[in-house]
Chain A
Amino acid sequence: DAKTTQPTSMDCAEGRAANLPCNHSTISGNEYVYWYRQIHSQGPQYIIHGLKNNETNEMASLIITEDRKSSTLILPHATLRDTAVYYCIVRVRLASNAGNNRKLIWGLGTSLAVNP
């Protein structure tokens, strides 16, 4: 299963863009990249996912390199409420008897601190 590598921690000033990098050099062609975040002790929250094209939604943008070996999550205007641990995850397929189900391979994430 492909694994991801992320910086342990990052800082960002409130109102500025937060760019969180992720390395997934062993990713295979059919594996998606997902981003989640976890605020304090809450359950993880889905942010965005992609396969090979850049993606944008109301929360963030995801930039995936052409060789798919790395990606960057961009929070365009970080706020204090964006302080959290951000996980870059590769989604792999579960056993065939689970149909189209997938499992997520979790790493330790990046602890992002947004400062006033």
Chain B
Amino acid sequence: DAGITQSPRHKVTETGTPVTLRCHQTENHRYMYWYRQDPGHGLRLIHYSYGVKDTDKGEVSDGYSVSRSKTEDFLLTLESATSSQTSVYFCAISVGENEQFFGPGTRLTVL
């Protein structure tokens, strides 16, 4: 699993509340990613990071922000959660230029 953990693993929250998901890696990989997975869609890239304080938007970034203040942590924040953000969120890291390794996922429900 390339030393990737995600927290929390499950969360239920209410519309309009802020939510922060954490991805932590132990192997100092440069590239980190946040995806969401929904029925009827493949995994979709939200944001990615290519170094400390270096981040960029993916294909579904609206309503999300990220921060990476140190190599091992990549945070995904929903400033004001909406029901459309109910999803399973996966963090991933790149190992070299090849495969991505994924974390166990966070299941978020916004009521």
Interface of A is mostly: loop
Instruction: Contact check, A107 vs B88: say whether CB atoms are below 8 A apart.
Output: no
CA distance A106 to B90 in the complex (A): 13
Given contacts A101-B94, A103-B48, A43 and B102 within 8 Å (CB-CB): yes
Q: Does B100 contact A (CB under 8 A)?
A: yes
In angstroms, Cα B54 to Cα A98, docked, is 9
Q: Is the interface of B mostly helix, strand, loop or mixed?
A: strand
Of A98, A99, A104, A108, which is within 8 A of B100 by CB? Answer: A104
Q: Which residue of A lies closest to B31 (CB)?
A: A101
Cα A41 to Cα B33 in complex, Å, equals: 18
Residue in B31, B42, B103, B107 whose beta carbon sits within 8 Å of that of A43 in the complex: B103
Q: Of A44-52, A62-70, A76-84, which stretch is located at the interface?
A: A44-52
User: Would A42 and B104 count as touching, CB distance under 8 A?
Assistant: yes
Q: Pick the contact of B44 from A49, A95, A106 — CB < 8 Å?
A: A106
CB-defined contacts of B44 to chain A, threshold 8 Å: 106
- Report the separation of the CA atoms of residues A34 and B97 in the bound assembly, to the nearest whole angstrom: 12
Is A94's beta carbon under 8 Å from chain B?
yes
Assess the A87–B42 pair: CB atoms within 8 A: yes
Does A102 count as interface, using CB distance less than 8 angstroms?
Answer: yes
B97 contact from A43, A100, A108, Cβ within 8 A: A100
In the A-B complex, list the 8 residue pairs whose CB atoms are closest, starting with the nearest: A106-B42, A43-B102, A46-B99, A106-B43, A98-B50, A107-B42, A44-B102, A43-B90
Give B residues with C-beta under 8 Å from A.
1, 4, 31, 33, 40-45, 48, 50, 54, 56, 58, 88, 90, 92, 94, 97-105, 107
Could you jot down 18 A-B contacts, CB within 8 Å? Answer: A41-B88, A42-B105, A43-B102, A43-B103, A44-B90, A46-B98, A46-B99, A97-B50, A98-B31, A98-B48, A98-B50, A100-B97, A101-B31, A106-B42, A106-B43, A106-B44, A108-B42, A109-B42
* Interface residues of A, Cβ cutoff 8 Å to B: 34, 41-46, 49, 87, 94-95, 97-109
